[in-house]
Amino acid sequence: MLQVKNLSFAYNKTNVLEGLSFDIAQGEHVAVMGESGCGKSTLLKLIYGLLTPGQGEILWRDEQVKGPLYKLVPGESYMKYLSQEFDLMPFTSVAENISQFLSVFYPEQLKQRTEELLEMIEMTSEAKVKVKNLSGGQQQRVALARVLAQKPDLLLLDEPFSHIDNFRKSSLRRNLFQYLKEENISCLTATHDHLDVLPFADRTLVLKDKELVVDGKTTMVYESPRNFYVASLFGEANVLPITVLKSYADTKRNIIVYAHEFKVAKSSGLATRVKKIYPMRGYYLVEGESEDGKVFFHSEKILKIGTKVFLNVSIETINKRLREIN
């Protein structure tokens, strides 16, 4: 099990991370989310041992993970780190890169393991292609297979699908995270993309202003966002006074409503004027203007600019969000 205790770090004199504490169980997949510059990549570098904590400690199975002040070569045998720089051998083949750290004394096992990983990243047909001739997305897939070759106990992924084509991402995500579950490999994924998180991560950590502000089950973090910042990490969200949604409400509090939680009506609800339309996959994201300001919502049908519509939110959603505030 990975344990992070009261972790702080500064590149110069100002802390980038401050007082972080959490743990990851064997086989657990944990996502780290937050705005750019919040310290996601720094956290992974600290855990891997590329940086030395200014305060606190990092433990794996009660043994301290040592940084560059104590180790000439960073990293531990049980841990692998996929950074945003792939660190591949450009003049050797895809298969040779993947099998680089596998033992040549067991050629059958080496061949079998390499083929297994080539299949997982969907690059069996490119096995003999030199890495320098691959696209950035293909190189990222090779780098991913290489860090998995020796079956680490803990895998650290920094934006692991950022260079990969959208049509390939979905299957690769499923292949990777299913593989990690089957092999009982712990995983910490730093990402901006909620599609890396919602279907796959057991827990989600949210960083903001140097601190860990949320640590919870992924479904709960998404369905019960603590504030607008957390909700916005998962898509378009709105903060609205409860009274504009339910005029009979006996509270003046605001609630968070995701764009997809609005239902468009013709006669009653939050009066909104359509300002902009963004075609999405199977629906339209609409930017509207209400008396309380800008509001984003989804529509199954295209709406004309300037049209007046009414937005409603289910009472179940409202009651759930009100309970979260309490």
Q: Is residue 287 part of a domain?
A: yes
Pairing relationship of beta strands 293-299 and 254-258 according to DSSP bridges: unpaired
Question: pTM of the entire structure?
Answer: 0.90
Tell me: pLDDT of 326 over 50.
Answer: no
Q: Is residue 20 part of a domain?
A: yes
Q: Is residue 212 part of a domain?
A: yes
Q: Which pLDDT score, from 0 to 100, does residue 105 have?
A: 67
What single letter denotes the amino acid at residue 216?
Answer: G
Task: Give percent of the chain above pLDDT 70.
Answer: 96
Q: Is residue 231 part of a domain?
A: no
Q: pLDDT tens for residues 36-51?
A: 999 999 999 999 999 9
Q: Is residue 28 part of a domain?
A: yes
Q: Which pLDDT score, from 0 to 100, does residue 76 have?
A: 80
Token output for 242: 């409860």
* 242 & 306 share domain: yes
Greater confidence (321 vs 197) lies with: 197
Q: Is residue 194 part of a domain?
A: yes
Pairing relationship of beta strands 29-33 and 186-190 according to DSSP bridges: parallel
* 279 & 161 share domain: no
Q: Which of 138, 155, 185 is nearest to 83 (CA)?
A: 155
* 244 & 215 share domain: no
* 216 & 263 share domain: no
Token output for 306: 């300037």
Q: Give the chain's mean pLDDT.
A: 90
Task: Give percent of the chain above pLDDT 90.
Answer: 69
Chain centroid, CA 112 distance in Å: 31
Q: Which pLDDT score, from 0 to 100, does residue 285 have?
A: 97
Please answer whether residues 35 and 19 qualify as being in contact, where contact means their C-beta atoms are separated by less than 8 angstroms.
no
Check which CATH number belongs to the domain holding 275 and give it.
Answer: 2.40.50.140
Check which CATH number belongs to the domain holding 121 and give it.
Answer: 3.40.50.300
Q: pLDDT tens for residues 17-38?
A: 999 999 999 999 999 999 999 9
Tell me: pLDDT of 135 over 50.
Answer: yes
Q: How confident is the model at residue 325 (pLDDT cuts 50, 70, 90)?
A: low
Q: Which pLDDT score, from 0 to 100, does residue 250 have?
A: 59
* Tally of structural domains, the chain: 2
* 187 & 147 share domain: yes
Please answer whether residues 257 and 233 qualify as being in contact, where contact means their C-beta atoms are separated by less than 8 angstroms.
no
* 151 & 31 share domain: yes
Q: Is residue 318 part of a domain?
A: yes
Average pLDDT over residues 175-186: 94
* 209 & 174 share domain: yes
Token output for 120: 């997982």
Tell me: pLDDT of 275 over 70.
Answer: yes
* 220 & 256 share domain: no
Name the region of 56 (left: φ>0; alpha: ψ -120 to 50; beta: rest).
left
**Of 192, 225, 258, the domain-final residue:** 225
**Of 172, 193, 225, the domain-final residue:** 225
Q: Which residues contact 287 (CB under 8 A, 6 or more apart)?
A: 274, 275, 276, 277, 278, 294, 295, 296
* 256 & 124 share domain: no
Q: Which range, of 15-19, 81-85, 141-145, 246-250, averages the lowest pLDDT?
A: 246-250
**Of 225, 251, 273, the domain-final residue:** 225
Q: 137: domain range?
A: 2-225
Q: Which range, of 162-171, 240-249, 254-263, 296-305, averages the lowest pLDDT?
A: 240-249
Q: Which pLDDT score, from 0 to 100, does residue 318 have?
A: 86
* 175 & 312 share domain: no
Q: How confident is the model at residue 107 (pLDDT cuts 50, 70, 90)?
A: confident
* 274 & 215 share domain: no
DSSP class of 130: B
* 221 & 253 share domain: no
Q: pLDDT tens for residues 74-96?
A: 778 899 999 888 789 889 999 99
Q: Is residue 169 part of a domain?
A: yes
